Structure 1
Amino acid sequence: MYWEIIELANGEVALRRADSNDDPLLVIRFSDEAKERLKEQRLDVARAMISAGVQVATEIESGDDIDELDDDEVMVH
C-alpha cells in the first residue's frame, strides 16, 4: 500500500492512499500566520510532521517503546 501527500483545493495538506480518492487519513491545516512564516517550506514541514507521526504509529503498532518528550519540550493548547 502506498500513501501520497497532497495539497487540497482549500490549501490544507493531506495524507491518503495513493490508489484511492477516499477521505484522507489525516489533514494538516496551517494558520495564515504559519503560511506566511513558512512560505514555500510549508509542504516540507507538513511532510516532516506526517513522517514523524507515521514513525510513532509504526512503533506503537509494533509494541516498541517510543521516545517520550519532556513536558517542557512541547506545549499543547
Structure 2
Amino acid sequence: MTDIIPAFRGEQTFMPTSFLEIVELPDGRIELRRAEDEGSLVILDFSEDAKVFLQGQHVEVAKAMLSVGVQMAGRLAEGEPEKEDGPRVLH
C-alpha cells in the first residue's frame, strides 16, 4: 500500500517540490518517506493490541496521523506559531 501526499507549498518549507509517500512495509510498520527516496522520515509501529483495538484500521489511522503531522510541519515552516495557552501534556 502506498499513498502519495503532496508536500507543503511555499518558499520557506523544507521540502518545497517533493512528494511524500505513506508506505506499509512488509513487516506491517507504516513509513513516511520522500517519493524519490528510500530513506524513512517517520516510521509508525502499531502493537498487535493496538491493531486489534483499531479493528484492523491501523493503516487509515496512520495515514490520518501522518497527514496531520505534515500539515503542522508546513504551518510551522511557514512561520505560523503554535498556540500554547497552557502547559503542554504529551501522552
| TM bracket, shorter-chain basis | 0.7 to 0.9
> What TM-score, normalized to structure 1?
0.79
SS of equivalent residue, structure 1 residue 39: coil
> C-alpha separation between the residues in 1 aligned to 2:19 and 2:46?
25
**Aligned equivalent of 2:65:** 49
Residue 17 of structure 1, CA deviation: 1.4
2:49 is the alignment partner of 1:33: yes
CA distance in 2 between partners of 1:68 and 1:55 (Å):
18
Query: Offset at 1:70?
Result: 6.0
> How many angstroms apart in 2 are the aligned matches of 1:44 and 1:55?
17
CA shift for structure 1 position 2: 1.2
Specify the code of the residue in structure 2 equivalent to 1:23: G
Q: Distance in 1 between matches of 2:72 and 2:47?
A: 25
Please report how far the alpha carbon of residue 47 of structure 1 lies from its aligned counterpart in structure 2 after TM superposition.
0.5
Q: Percent identity of the aligned residues?
A: 38
Q: CA deviation at 1:14?
A: 0.4
Distance 1:63 1:46, change over 3 A: same
Q: CA RMSD in A?
A: 2.1
Query: Amino acid of the residue matched to residue 13 of structure 1?
Result: I
- TM-score, normalised to structure 2, is 0.68
Write the mapping of 1:1-77 to structure 2, written as runs, cut at 5 A: 1-20=18-37, 22-68=38-84, 75-76=90-91
More helix by share: 1
Number of residues of Structure 1 aligned to a counterpart in Structure 2: 74
Task: Return the offset for 1:75.
Answer: 4.8
Structure 2 unaligned blocks of 5 or more: 1-17
In terms of fraction of residues, the more strand-rich structure is 2
